């Protein structure tokens, strides 16, 4: 959203135009929500500008598409990790937003920046991968694993989907999983197999759990693609907004459990896809 440290009105206008393009499809099709993969900030914003940009993203969604349409994910740029506190404090990283600041901008109706919601016939679990670009597991990431394990065990939904901005750190070909992704995969693999798994000295017993995780949806790699990790389909999507005024790129997604497929109709740059899922 705009150049570093500046709220760019022309860019904001372009963003609204792209939202209008999405609305043209959303308003005439039986779609339930828009999953927003994050990464709206540039590198190098001041805290006040970062918060303004995040607020503008949310406000534009609500203005164009309605109050309860957007389901956001935290991208590794959205926490302003490479930004600055202000013009007088320009040490890289001094502008890192706290979870409370991110909640204020995007997640005020949830207790955390990770959350779940129910679609028509699917439970979605949205995780905060933040700037998790390595195998490191912080207390906050273990907190999400504990929450996800307990939530999966208590949820009677037959179909479940995990969404997170970062699954692979770099490219799909490199297949370099982050620490959070590695542990999410271990957890849901045990869940789908109805087995027991111990992570961070906590044991999760899924022997009597209901349903299966159909797939993981992620972004970050700036590529379209899909792989299977430990029997779990992982789907990657490319940039939604390209540089320049070329229009929005997004997928119209339909989970077809009878055919065991995720059908993705591409609007913009790219191709349609039909990907096998777990049922």
pLDDT tens track for 111-165: 999 999 998 899 999 999 988 777 789 999 999 999 999 999 999 999 999 999 9
**Structure confidence at residue 41 (pLDDT):** 87
pLDDT tens track for 45-65: 999 999 999 999 999 999 999
**Structure confidence at residue 214 (pLDDT):** 98
pLDDT tens track for 81-122: 889 999 999 898 899 999 999 999 999 889 999 999 998 899
Q: What is the dihedral sign for C-alpha 115, 119, 123, 125?
A: negative
pLDDT tens track for 6-24: 666 777 888 898 899 999 9
């Amino acid at each position: 959203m705009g150049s570093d440290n500046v709220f760019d009105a022309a860019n904001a206008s372009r963003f609204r135009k792209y939202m209008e393009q999405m609305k043209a499809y959303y308003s005439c099709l039986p779609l339930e929500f828009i999953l927003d993969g994050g990464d709206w900030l540039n590198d190098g914003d001041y805290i006040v500008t970062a918060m303004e940009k995040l607020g503008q993203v949310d406000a534009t969604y609500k203005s164009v598409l309605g109050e309860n349409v957007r389901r956001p994910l935290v991208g590794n740029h959205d926490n302003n990790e490479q930004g600055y506190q202000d013009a007088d404090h320009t040490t890289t990283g001094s502008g890192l937003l706290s979870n409370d600041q991110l909640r204020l901008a995007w997640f005020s109706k949830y207790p955390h920046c990770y959350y779940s919601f129910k679609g028509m016939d699917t439970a979605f679990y949205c995780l905060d991968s933040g700037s998790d670009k390595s195998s490191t597991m912080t207390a906050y990431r273990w907190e999400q694993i504990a929450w996800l394990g307990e939530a999966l065990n208590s949820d009677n939904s037959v179909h479940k989907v995990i969404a997170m901005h970062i699954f692979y750190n770099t490219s799909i070909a490199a297949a370099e999983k982050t620490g959070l992704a590695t542990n999410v995969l271990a957890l849901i693999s045990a869940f789908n197999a109805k087995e027991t798994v111990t992570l961070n000295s906590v044991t999760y017993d899924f022997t009597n759990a209901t349903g299966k995780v159909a797939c993981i949806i992620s972004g970050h790699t700036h590529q379209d693609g899909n792989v299977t990790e430990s029997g779990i389909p992982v789907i990657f999507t490319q940039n939604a907004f390209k540089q320049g005024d070329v229009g929005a790129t997004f997928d119209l997604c339909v989970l077809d459990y009878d055919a065991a497929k995720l059908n993705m109709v591409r609007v913009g740059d790219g191709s349609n896809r039909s990907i096998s899922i777990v049922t």
